[in-house]
Structure 1
């Protein structure tokens, strides 16, 4: 089973899953790009559904404007399965003096585990607020626990978050996501989490495609990690063809059962409903048809259906727990 905003869903019922988007996000690093309007984010979620996705992960962790009750309402209104996230992002997203940065690894673990087991608060404050509930009155629980690091750097606070994410995985089995700045330090993150007892097979490495190195990706997949490809529509850095070619080359080297796809659009100025572009539908409308014209259908199904279901549920294809 996979924990969604509206409760548990059988992994096999997730359908095509987008592993990394944001319905709500507010950060001091993204002034002017806030995602904070329920109606507009709901319209954007509907466009994602209409582009061919049945599920998504809202990858906004604690303290960055996540709105769990609104996420649940959007999920109910659109029919889109949404997995919500706990954990913490890399340190600069919070700003100096933010209460989350002062928490010990044990205190962070308590916060993260509570989000998974009991449900998220209505909003994130130093003193926990009332529990968030969905339209059916049930708690909105997290299904993913997230950490983030800098470019080839991990601050003391980020080390504590990684330790707490590992402890949360040991306590709950929630899927793990790690933000890699520009795809850096992937093996180093896996080693640190591994030292805390987390196998690579529990971990999705977000933005690994920001370093489009198929040989490296094949090595990471061989270690067991999931590869988060979410850099599409960033043509100031590379054309989409670079990432599709990298995916195909990595798959040819054995990584096909570890690739996940997402958009991580994550900006007001990039959401159609907020007046920007290309929007959450870009991946389904522009990238997937192009890829599917030449890709092995079995690989497409693995990347869009089998792999995210396995990562989010913590089970392999035979149903054996990690």
Structure 2
């Protein structure tokens, strides 16, 4: 089953216009050796965080945890049903540093990875499930790379993501470490048949360069701004200024917003702060005050709906 022209959520394929105001990048289930003590492994608490996001006016979210790393699509589906959020689950793989030594996934070749990712998208993303009625499928492909580096495993993942995209038309997210190597990774994906217009570049705001961002928008890629509430690195005001400067240069139609809170110590339901709803509760009012409500609507509704819509397979 291929939902060309639709968005694939964990509960159903929906029309793009049904998606609503979308947080393009969050995590509800995640375990990584890079984040000891920050595991998201309690369905009830993660569900409470998701409910806070919904209560703050967000209608949909991308759960961006790829294969391994504690991803639990069955739990994600239950949270979607309980909260009313449209949730898009993710397949693919993260950058290599997130996988423990001896993990079998980094040893797989590109063909095996592509088959795994494609099955998650089209059959069922629950391990061992045959699919069919009640299947929980991923709706997004993800790849990642290090800071100005691509390991052999990361290159195999990029090639596998491209193959799965060609087979399905599913959208793609790429983790950029500190916003590096954006054009380089777009070129690798383009070699594999993935147009820039199918790709969201996560964490571009970690490199707050509106000139570069405008060039990437003009190349057709979507840019993910997801670094708010990280005040040790930069204030929210710098992110807003970069976003508005990018809009002035290249227009608003290639920009996405998400929180990527992604830490037990930053979720209120786990005893941390500021919580998953920081984006709608604290950041969006400031952006609307400076850029206008129409801009916020474009970034939250029109842009993610266009990005997450499946294309015709190659």
Distance in 2 between the 1:132 and 1:273 partners? Answer: 32
| CA drift at 1:255 | 3.8
RMSD: 1.5
Give the Cα separation in 2 of the matches to 1:255 and 1:196.
Answer: 28
Runs (5+) with no aligned partner, structure 1: 123-128
Number of residue pairs aligned between Structure 1 and Structure 2: 309
What's the TM-score, normalizing by structure 2? 0.96
The answer to whether the 8 Å contact 1:180/1:205 transfers is yes
Aligned positions of 1:84-233 closer than 5 A? 84-122=89-127, 129-130=128-129, 138-233=134-229
Q: Does 1:295 align with 2:291?
A: yes
1:116-142 residue CA offsets vs partner (Å, 9 max, x unmatched): 0001124xxxxxx33579xxx510001
Residues 30-66 of structure 1 deviation map (CA, whole Å, 9 limit, x = unaligned): 1110000000000000001111100000000001111
> Given that residues 170 and 197 in structure 1 are in contact (C-alpha distance below 8 angstroms), is that contact kept between their aligned partners in structure 2?
yes
Distance 1:62 1:3 in 2: 17
CA shift digits 1:275-305 (9 cap, x unpaired): 0001100000000011112313332221010
Alignment match, 2:3 = none
- For the residues of structure 2 that align with 1:307 and 1:21, how far apart are their CA atoms? 17
- The equivalences for 1:61-76 within 5 A come to 61-76=66-81
Which of the residues 21, 29, 48 maps onto 2:26? 21
CA–CA separation in structure 2 for the residues paired with 1:300 and 1:278: 21
Q: Is the 8 A contact 1:58 1:84 kept in 2?
A: yes
Contact persistence 1:2–1:8 (CA under 8 A): yes
What does residue 126 of structure 1 align with? none
The 4+ residue runs of structure 1 with deviation greater than 2 A are 129-133
1:82 pairs with 2:81: no
Match of 1:7 among 12, 23, 47: 12
Deviations 1:175-214 (A, max 9, x none): 1000000000000000111111111000000001100000
Q: What TM-score comes out, normalization by structure 1 length?
A: 0.93
Q: 1:39 aligns with which of 32, 37, 44?
A: 44
What runs of 5+ residues in structure 2 fail to find an aligned partner? 1-5
Pick which of 19-28 and 293-302 moved more: 293-302
